[in-house]
Amino acid sequence: MKHRCHLLFTLALVSAAHAQNVKRNLPYAEPAHERHVLDVYSPRDAKNLPVVFWIHGGGWQAGDKSDVKLKPQIFMEKGFVFVSTNYRLLPDVDMGTLIRDVAKSFRWVQDHIAEYGGDPKRVLVGGHSAGAQLAALICTDDRYLKAEGIRFDVLIGCVPVDGDTYDVPAIIETAETRLRVHQLPPRVNGHREKFGNTPEKHKDFSAVTHIARGKGIPPFLILHVASHPDTSAQALRLGAVLKNAGIPVKVFGAKDSSHVKLNDDLGLPDDPATKALFEFVREGVAK
């Protein structure tokens, strides 16, 4: 019965898609690399709607903006314009360049989203896995958006989904201690290498490093898999630092889920994480 309800729900979304506009592979940088592109999903006759800016996962080495499942349709039904962006990947570029790509994509949204019915002054940033780290970082380390001439006051919220790198030194220590205790070989190209292989870079690429009062950091909803020790610990760590800085934050642990399932299920009826998400969204947009 539950499967049939989900099937009917999906069919309804497909039908509703005919009332929506989708523009794919819009370039956001010049000269444009093949991954300097984004997709925009707009309800028909959209005008001055809040915007979701979504960052895909894939370990900073893979993934694509098309991996959004139900999210565009659900957000459009809720009165949003939805943007999903690509960015260059490791090892073709370093982590700093990759993050600056995301910021350039956000700049494009500021300049052009009104043409697609969106309000550039009301943007919710979200992402899954590696995208969760990127979302959390650009919403806490204001240097990336400032370099593009953007202030935090355009952000209405941040929703990182099951990230494990809001505190990079902590996850490196956790992972390497686990391997050492169990007498396993070191990982090849693990977090230590991906984030620049120096303690200074590891700290600088951690969202928790940059959280402080008075910066205009937006409210956070941190979604994680309740049974996953690493993403749970990182979610609680990020939540605690935000709370100590006086920034509104909710941490939601999804039960009976997994790293992939939590992201894929966002938008399904009766999904607890989806309910937490749209409760957070309603509160943010109402302000």
Q: Are 111 and 32 in contact (CB under 8 A)?
A: no
DSSP string covering the chain, please? Answer: -HHHHHHHHHHHHHHHGGGEEEEEEEE-SSSPPTT-EEEEEEETT--SEEEEEEE--STTTS--TT--TTHHHHHHHTT-EEEEE----TTTS-HHHHHHHHHHHHHHHHHHGGGGTEEEEEEEEEEETHHHHHHHHHTT-THHHHTTT--GGGEEEEEEES-S-SSHHHHHHHHHHHHHHTT-PPPTT-HHHHTTSSHHHHHHT-GGGG--TTS-PPPEEEEEETT-HHHHHHHHHHHHHHHHTT--EEEEEESS--HHHHHHTTT-TT-HHHHHHHHHHHHHHH-
The per-residue pLDDT for 125 is 98
Taking the C-alpha atoms of residue 256 and residue 190, their distance in angstroms, rounded to an integer, is: 27
Nearest to 226 by CA among 251, 249, 244: 251
First to last CA, the chain: 39
Q: Are 202 and 171 in contact (CB under 8 A)?
A: no
What does each C-alpha distance from 84 to 64, 238, 253, 261 come to in angstroms?
9, 24, 24, 19
The per-residue pLDDT for range 153-175, each reduced to its tens digit, is: 999 999 999 999 999 999 999 99
Taking the C-alpha atoms of residue 287 and residue 276, their distance in angstroms, rounded to an integer, is: 17
Sequence-separated (6 or more) residues with CB below 8 Å from residue 267: 69, 70, 71, 73, 74, 274
Check whether domain 20-286 has CATH 3.40.50.1820, yes or no: yes
The per-residue pLDDT for range 3-19, each reduced to its tens digit, is: 554 555 554 454 444 45
Q: What is the pTM of this model?
A: 0.93
For residue 143, give both structure tokens: 């240097």
188 confidence band (pLDDT: 50, 70, 90):
confident
The per-residue pLDDT for 15 is 46
How large is the average pLDDT for residues 48-54?
98
Please state, as a whole number, how many other Cβ atoms lie within 10 Å of the Cβ of residue 55.
Answer: 29
The per-residue pLDDT for range 61-87, each reduced to its tens digit, is: 999 999 999 999 999 999 999 999 999
The per-residue pLDDT for 19 is 59
Nearest to 81 by CA among 46, 38, 112: 46
For residue 45, give both structure tokens: 């006759």
